[in-house]
Structure 1
Amino acid sequence: MTARTEPQLDLIDVFKALANPVRLQVLSWLREPERHFPVAEGIADPHEAGVCVSHIQAKTGLAQSTVSSYMASLERAGLVRSTRIGKWTHYRRDEERIAAFVALLGRAL
């Protein structure tokens, strides 16, 4: 068995995060938060701070702990960033990291 190089490791982490259909769907929803979440009910700009985890939880219909786990997985893979506002955590896509992943994927395959 050969050791993986760092870019391969990054690709694998992203693939693992995206392997779950709900995580993939949430990442897609976060591309256009104003279209998929009740932005008027938010306390922050969804493009700047992100979407509150409670709104993501409500849309998925999953337990808050499950959604938090899913979002942590996406964050570890570098696909989203979190911002804490008061007692709430907001998530937004990390477009630079997503673009870097797409470019890396193009070079790796």
Structure 2
Amino acid sequence: MPIDLIEALKALDNPTRLTILNLLKNPRENFPEQQADPEQIGVCVGIIQERVKLSQSTVSNYLAALQRAQLVTSQRIGPWTYYKRNEEKVAQLLEVLGKTI
């Protein structure tokens, strides 16, 4: 499914969501406290929350917006949810922007 440009731009129209997406670009470097391999499974929402210093519910809502825009993917392992960038969709977004603007 192709990326929805408007949905992606809405998701990025928030400085914290943009920061989260940027932090997820290099998860090992930006989230060294992550126990499991962040390149494989992603970063736990609780660790993202600690980094951006917002409530867990706010961060979860921000991540849900990024996920609706297909810019991140999530994976549940037990009681925890892990997020990582969807590099394929980020590349599609950049390509669509390059053609549109």
* Range class of TM-score, shorter chain: over 0.9
Looking at both structures, which has the greater relative contact order when contacts are Cα pairs under 8 Å and sequence separation is at least 6?
2
**Paired residue secondary structure (1:48):** helix
The one-letter amino acid of 1:80's match is V
**Could you list the runs of 5+ residues in structure 1 that have no partner in the other structure?**
1-6
The alignment's C-alpha RMSD in Å is 1.4
**Which residue pairs with 1:91 in the alignment?**
83
**Which residue pairs with 1:104 in the alignment?**
96
Whether contact under 8 Å (1:38, 1:55) holds in the other structure is no
Percent identity between matched residues is 51
The one-letter amino acid of 2:63's match is M
Q: Deviations over 1:13-53 (max 9, x none)?
A: 111100100000010000011111134x42x2101110000
Displaced runs of 4 or more, over 6 A:
none
**Of 68, 74, 77, which residue of structure 1 is paired with 2:69?**
77
TM-score, with structure 2 as normaliser:
0.92
TM-score, with structure 1 as normaliser:
0.86
Bigger Rg, structure 1 or 2: 1
**Which residue pairs with 2:9 in the alignment?**
15
**Could you list the runs of 5+ residues in structure 2 that have no partner in the other structure?**
none
